[in-house]
Structure 1
Amino acid sequence: MEDAQDDFMEQEESDGGDEPPSSLFKPPGRSTRVNIQRSNVCSRAYFVVVMVFFHVYIVNVIGLLLYVHYNNGPGDPGGRDGGPASAPGSESGSSLPHSAPAPSELRVDDYRQSFSLPRIEGIRVGHVQQVSLVPDRTHQMMTLSLKPLLFEIPGFLSEEESNQPLLSLSTEEVFSLLDLDQDGLLQKQEIVSHSRSRDGTWLSPDNLQQILTGLEGRPAGLLTLEEFRRVYDVSQRPGQQRSGKLRSQFKQRNKHTWLYQGLGSHHVLQTLRNRVISLTRLPSALVELSEPLQVIRYEHRDFSNAHHDSSRSHSQTTCAHTRLAGNTTALSEVSCRYLTVSFYLSSAEEGGETTFPVADNRTYEEQDGLDLTDTQETCGRGNLRIKPAAGTALLWYNHLSDGRGWMGELDEYSLHGDCPVRHGVKWAANSWVNVDPDHQMQARYQRIVAQRHRAKSTLEEHHQPLSHSDLHQDL
């Protein structure tokens, strides 16, 4: 038996040099050609699958890069790694200024330029990034929410700035804000256009009615600054008497005023505006053409119900800030506010939190049947509440991005309000940046402003006031 096995092994070894062992045991009916064909088919299919997945991966990467590009806008200095943001207007390629130029350096051409809207990346809740707002110092900006995109900036205001006494608008500033075409004369259309604005007004209906009555009493139907000063002084008194009676009809209790931040305003107010430009990374022209600064005082039990700062776009409405270039036949005017920068001027001892009732909800309707707009009753149930701390600022976007570097739909999650003050006094200020969702309308408005500023400057150059310093007459 062992001899037979040895003979068989010797025969295998002798045959192995000419033919592989597998050839001795070929299954009947199967050929080497068929096996090779199956192997080729499997390799080709595997190659096709790999190539398909590779191309899908490349397409996804390109799509992600395009999304980030259009969300941030070209030249957005914000980094995804949370490192220090490059200063706007630096050599990094951004066309945005680090801070607004001094009032004497403002150029009319800035208002004629078309631009996109940068958007700061939130990354994730709790993410902290460094921002440069003032020389020789960096501030920390923390992401508080992604829906809406909300940031907190401690120390946005210094202690001196927080305690700065702020005054109401002067008569000249009110006249300038009403004078839409800046021709030095108030027309009826300018007063009517302002009175049609549903919110964001800095004059009461009584004030506007008194001014309109005074204007209609003039033969030419126009008011100069001197005539307006007399009418405006009269309008202030009855308006103050009636405002207390009407206050209980609104769903909020607070006292507020509006502060002009343009040429001739207090240097602290101009500094705050420049800091908002640096924080938001927006072109200075947008901020300069926006609403005045709103300052609010909340006393004991004062509050504001949850609301949206901006409005949905509709064919029957027009933005209040672009009414000069907008549809004059629109039924109503609404506030179009791309973002809000709110900062605390004092720390309330108890209560007064800023609440975002539906922040980071899975769905906007997830409210369990509660009316979360009623901050008096449901303030404690809000998803996010920020305790007021003097000098701290909040930045949030009222609108989503349209994916093309401009303002999109209203962000429903930006619903917010102010909880009742339990003890102490709360001072706060709001700075809004007005943007028309219609890019062409915004550009047209800026061109009109630029043209009228240029025409006014030319007129002033050709009609210099006569100086009497060199005149002398002997009697």
Structure 2
Amino acid sequence: MRRGAEAKTASQHTCLTLARPRLDQPPSQPISSDPSLPPRDDATVVPGMRVSEVGHKQEVELVPNKIHFMKTLSLKPLAFEIPDFLSEDECKLLINLAKREGLKKSPIQFSKERADSLEELAVNQMEIFNILDFNHDGQLQIIEMMSHERLAKDQLLTPKDIMEMYSSLKADPDGNGVLSLEEFKGVNMQDFYRYIDRKKTNKRELVRNSQQAWLVQGKGAHPIMHSIQQRVIHLTRLSAEIIELSEPLQVVRYDPGGYYHAHWDSGKAVPDISRISLEQFVHISPYHFLSRYATVLIYLSNVTGGGETNFPIADNRTYDYQSLIQNNIDLRDTYRHCDKGNLRIKPVQGTAVFWYNHLSDDEGWIGDIDQYSLHGGCLVTEGTKWIANQWISVHPNKRSQLLLQKVMAQHANDGDQSEGIVDEYCPAVHEEL
């Protein structure tokens, strides 16, 4: 984030959009593509981006005087692979910067800071219910409760775990596995948390095993950080303002035995930030209010054994959470069952994988979470795996996004370093993901 950035009024951002391909748009300009792949008349594109079939390759210019090729990996979620996104030397540089910053054990529990923030904002039971109700049907399915970051904490919960908890707490009187708003309001959330705290956890059920560091990309950062941001801007076709207000770069190290069970990178954000003062907003950290619209994952090393990125249900015809666990095989379990996933991407140094975590709404803004974006990191059996994550963070409400940009620009104009917010709060941001 830049110091001294000028605040802009909402009227200057009336055309604020996100450039996820819309499947009903016809081509608006010629597309550079791999001549070995035949053209298709039913291509689904945004200007310059063709995504109609898995395996399709297109040219993208991320740095001056160099052409990269971007290959479509899947349509659900919409995911791409870009070889040589970084050079070998750039990968090594990022690893050294992360080591100098100091790697820490990746958190596996819900952040106390996050909990305190929600309490400070007085987020009530009704708001929590609405945040968890992904499909907006006025009920909480088991899958929606399992997605509750503080409830899951450090564990890979199963539907059986949730039903046992309901039974113990008498939260689901009719035993149908679905909580109405009245049933949800009838249970103290602290009782849910205490129940999970008492549950014994096998080490392999912990959500992840890794180390991480956060690298700030604002003024004063190493030039490579700005260069990566520019490439992400060209790759995603999003505005510089959105990218620069996103989370810092996260570098993660997985040693032998490291893994990350399948998860979604994003979740619903606190719905309304208009009631937040500047001081409160800065104190809490802006990233608590945002969703991760898209992910750019960069492999910083080759891996001798394991360590693939696994999308267990990519391009399934339909999505049913219950089908993830069948015959004692849990497709979310990347420690034991990565070989059962639909899409597995082998780490290759310098390669980036780019995917959307959300669908688009009717206005071209962030919509519902794409359930097919469920992904994880397979068990590293030999060698060390290094990756970098660049998340594109936006607020699901366009008006709140405009307010966010205005507030952050005002904070920068006041002479404070927004990087300080990042340094203090990023280890606690989205740690459940």
Fold-level match, TM-score > 0.5?
Answer: yes
Which deviates further from its counterpart, 447-456 or 278-287? 447-456
2:33 alignment counterpart: none
> Cα offset for 1:145?
0.3
* Conservation of the 8 A alpha-carbon contact between 1:258 and 1:294: yes
Aligned mate of 1:397, from 356, 362, 378:
356
Please give the secondary structure, in 1, of the residue aligned with 2:301: coil
Q: TM-score, normalised by structure 2?
A: 0.59
- Mark the CA change 1:376 to 1:149 in structure 2 (over 3 Å): closer, same or farther: same
Aligned mate of 2:331, from 360, 372, 391:
372
Which deviates further from its counterpart, 118-127 or 374-383? 118-127
Give yes or no for the alignment of 1:138 onto 2:62: no
Give yes or no for the alignment of 1:437 onto 2:366: no
Aligned mate of 2:253, from 297, 322, 327:
297
2:431 alignment counterpart: none
> Cα offset for 1:288?
0.9
Please give the secondary structure, in 1, of the residue aligned with 2:390: strand
Aligned length: 288
Distance in 2 of aligned mates of 1:170 and 1:152:
28
1:337 alignment counterpart: 292
- Mark the CA change 1:260 to 1:355 in structure 2 (over 3 Å): closer, same or farther: same
Distance in 2 of aligned mates of 1:338 and 1:422:
31
Q: TM-score, normalised by structure 1?
A: 0.54
Aligned mate of 1:413, from 372, 377, 402:
372
Structure 1 residues 65-86: Cα deviation after superposition (integer angstroms, max 9, x where no partner):
xxxxxxxxxxxxxxxxxxxxxx
Distance in 2 of aligned mates of 1:378 and 1:430:
24
Aligned mate of 1:260, from 206, 210, 216:
216
Alpha carbon RMSD of aligned pairs, Å? 3.7
Greater relative contact order, per chain length (Cα 8 Å cut-off, separation 6+): 2
Aligned mate of 2:225, from 231, 253, 269:
269
Please give the secondary structure, in 2, of the residue aligned with 1:376: coil
* Conservation of the 8 A alpha-carbon contact between 1:199 and 1:334: no
Please give the secondary structure, in 1, of the residue aligned with 2:336: helix
Q: Give structure 2 stretches of 5+ with no counterpart.
A: 22-44, 46-50, 103-112, 122-147, 151-202, 417-433
2:313 alignment counterpart: 358
Which deviates further from its counterpart, 348-357 or 250-259? 250-259
* Conservation of the 8 A alpha-carbon contact between 1:199 and 1:335: no
- Mark the CA change 1:252 to 1:345 in structure 2 (over 3 Å): closer, same or farther: same
Aligned mate of 1:116, from 11, 17, 20:
17
- Mark the CA change 1:426 to 1:119 in structure 2 (over 3 Å): closer, same or farther: same
Aligned identity (percent) is 43
Q: Give structure 1 stretches of 5+ with no counterpart.
A: 1-99, 172-188, 201-246, 458-475
* Counterpart code for 2:6: V
Aligned mate of 1:384, from 324, 343, 363:
343
Distance in 2 of aligned mates of 1:263 and 1:380:
43
* Conservation of the 8 A alpha-carbon contact between 2:73 and 2:80: yes
Distance in 2 of aligned mates of 1:425 and 1:195:
39
Distance in 2 of aligned mates of 1:344 and 1:286:
23
Distance in 2 of aligned mates of 1:436 and 1:107:
20
Structure 1 residues 45-82: Cα deviation after superposition (integer angstroms, max 9, x where no partner):
xxxxxxxxxxxxxxxxxxxxxxxxxxxxxxxxxxxxxx
Please give the secondary structure, in 1, of the residue aligned with 2:233: helix
- Mark the CA change 1:445 to 1:264 in structure 2 (over 3 Å): closer, same or farther: same
Distance in 2 of aligned mates of 1:346 and 1:408:
33
Q: Which runs of structure 2 are paired with 1:152-163 in the superposition (5 Å)?
A: 152-163=81-92
> Cα offset for 1:169?
8.2
* Conservation of the 8 A alpha-carbon contact between 2:302 and 2:348: yes
* Counterpart code for 2:71: M
> Cα offset for 1:124?
1.3
- Mark the CA change 1:371 to 1:190 in structure 2 (over 3 Å): closer, same or farther: closer
> Cα offset for 1:312?
3.5
- Mark the CA change 1:291 to 1:324 in structure 2 (over 3 Å): closer, same or farther: farther
Please give the secondary structure, in 1, of the residue aligned with 2:376: strand
Please give the secondary structure, in 2, of the residue aligned with 1:433: strand
- Computing the radius of gyration from Cα coordinates, the structure with the larger value is 1
- Mark the CA change 1:159 to 1:333 in structure 2 (over 3 Å): closer, same or farther: closer
Please give the secondary structure, in 1, of the residue aligned with 2:89: helix
* Conservation of the 8 A alpha-carbon contact between 2:7 and 2:405: no
> Cα offset for 1:339?
0.2
Distance in 2 of aligned mates of 1:279 and 1:338:
14
* Counterpart code for 1:255: Q
1:166 alignment counterpart: 97
Distance in 1 of aligned mates of 2:120 and 2:214:
18
2:170 alignment counterpart: none
Q: Which runs of structure 2 are paired with 1:47-86 in the superposition (5 Å)?
A: none
> Cα offset for 1:110?
6.2
* Counterpart code for 2:308: E
> Cα offset for 1:453?
2.8
Distance in 1 of aligned mates of 2:6 and 2:378:
42
**Structure with greater helix share of residues:** 1
1:56 alignment counterpart: none
* Counterpart code for 2:18: L
> Cα offset for 1:452?
3.0
Q: Which runs of structure 2 are paired with 1:419-458 in the superposition (5 Å)?
A: 419-456=378-415
1:221 alignment counterpart: none
* Counterpart code for 2:219: L
Please give the secondary structure, in 2, of the residue aligned with 1:375: coil
1:282 alignment counterpart: 238
> Cα offset for 1:192?
4.9
Distance in 2 of aligned mates of 1:262 and 1:367:
40
